Amino acid sequence: MDKIKVVWLCHFSNTFVHSKLNLGYSWLLKVLMKIAHKPVSIDVPEFANWVTNGIAEFEKIKDVELHIISPYPHMKRSTQEFVSKGIHYHFFQSEDDSVWNLFYRKIAKPSYWAYKRNRKTILSIIDSIQPQVVHLFGAENPDYSMGILDVPKEMITIAQLQTLMNDPDFQKNYPISPRMYQYRSSVEKEIVKKVDYPATLAVKYRNIICQDIRSNATILNLGLALHDPIVKDETEKKYDFVYFSANLSKAADLALEAFGRAYQQRPRITLDIVGGYDVSFKQVLDEIIHRYGMEKAVRFEGRLSSHDDVLTQIRKSKYALLPLRIDLTSGTIREAMSNGLPVLTTDTGELGTQKLNAGLPCVLISQVGDHEALAANMLRLLEDTELAETLRQNSYKRREAGRTNNETSLRYVEAYKACINYKMNGTPIPEELIKV
């Protein structure tokens, strides 16, 4: 087969991309930021590391011409494009960057936002590329994911699920308004119904799709490039526990509630918190800290600029305190395990965190919302160094046994070729690509 053209429709940032783009605030936004006494420097943290990992692997894959289409905040031009190491990058200004749109949505509060300009831009870029496959990462993010709804029928479409908002547990446990949940979950459902192939490794998500969204769906057995290198260095420990997340609203309040209960029994323990937050949620966290009188025991690092900075910071703690609300498991748990931090988390079922202990005990698990049980596990780790070392070594083994980013990326290529063959020749897609 000749070299195939593939588009990844996604949203991500890393230091390399940030350095290549011409960024700046609009004059109106600069005025508003000065009035609000906010710094006008452009700070976009790294996120969606699985996209960065996948790109690094596709730089080595020679039978695919990969094009990345992604929104990026604060771009000075409507689109910016460049090629690096064989990867074609296409970035565009999102409607979410428009001050006027933000004001309108705040005042009018529309229940649905169609992102017509974003979709027009995405379709124009896709038309200029003429790919055989368009692979979306993140159906739950309407600002760019709705672009896949306009892809011509002759192109194969894949929707890679990063989560599933239509999971009933999502609305119950995730801090999101009912109006926003209804909007984003409806977009996600529309995409899953429309694309040729949804894609996920999560059995729970596959069951929900087949039972509640699209009974005849052919679901590709593809995951994300989430493998992290094993790090066994002896970093000096400054803190007992660390909670980290791209956004602290995920579950930092649960971590603090458990830490507060453990702190009442061991008032010298410390907690480092790494990640971004908004003012209103920080007030929630501060109230918890004040209630337990642990102002001197908790430190906020804020949002760090690079993924490597985050990993360097978490290695300064002995243990990772990572309760979950909705994720089956999380990238932060995997990263903590790869970096030698014994993990304390919460039970997300046999298809979630329970799988981390299959065959080898790797993490300590308590029920979601049972702060007393999570605190008891914290104290247990502090008192049992042998248990902590067992969890650490077992975690290394499990992470080393996981699918590498190279294997994940080669699996993508295999799926692309199989889907093309099916479309062109009717050749059945190999069962190993659609069965978990």
pLDDT at 173: 75
Backbone angles phi, psi at 238, to 5 degrees: -105, -20
pLDDT at 364: 96
pLDDT tens readout for residues 107-128: 878 888 999 999 999 999 999 9
The DSSP element (H or E) to which 30 belongs, if any, is: helix 27-35
Cβ neighbours, 10 Å, residue 214: 16
Same domain for 429 and 390, yes or no, is no
User: Domain range holding 354?
Assistant: 239-401
Query: With contact defined as beta carbons under 8 Å apart, do 228 and 333 qualify?
Result: no
Of 361, 389, 364, 391, nearest to 378 (Cα)?
A: 364
- Structural domain includes residue 334: yes
28-37, 160-169, 387-396, range with the lowest pLDDT: 28-37
- Predicted TM-score (pTM) of the model is 0.87
* Shared-domain flag, residues 276 and 215: no
Query: Roughly what angle, to the nearest 10 degrees, separates helices 252-265 and 279-292?
Result: 10
Instruction: Give the phi and the psi of residue 168 in degrees, each rounded to 5.
Output: -55, -30
Render pLDDT for 204-220 as a digit per residue (tens, 0 to 9): 999 999 999 999 999 99
Mark whether 244 and 346 lie in a shared domain.
yes
410 and 362 in one domain? no
Residues 393 and 418 both lie in one domain: no
Per-residue pLDDT band at 350 (split at 50, 70, 90): confident
Cα(256)–Cα(262) distance, rounded to whole angstroms?
A: 10
Same domain for 212 and 250?
A: no
Mean pLDDT for all residues in the chain = 92
Query: Is the same domain home to 381 and 417?
Result: no
Residue 419 shares a structural domain with residue 383: no
Residue 143 has a pLDDT of 96
Residues 188, 45 share a domain = yes
Radius of gyration over every alpha carbon of the chain, rounded to an integer in angstroms: 22
Angle of CA points 65, 161, 336, to nearest 5°: 95
231-257 pLDDT tens trace: 887 889 999 999 999 889 989 999 999
Alpha-helix residue ranges (DSSP H) falling in 303-404: 307-314, 331-338, 371-383, 385-401
388 and 424 co-located in one domain:
no
Q: Give the CATH number of the domain where residue 44 resides.
A: 3.40.50.2000
Q: Is the pLDDT assigned to residue 103 strictly greater than 80?
A: no
| Number of domains forming the structure of the chain | 2
Give per-residue pLDDT as tens, 21-39: 998 866 666 666 667 666 6
Do 215 and 271 have their domain in common?
no
Q: What is the pLDDT of residue 43?
A: 73
Same-domain check for residues 177 and 324? no
DSSP SS3 for 151: coil
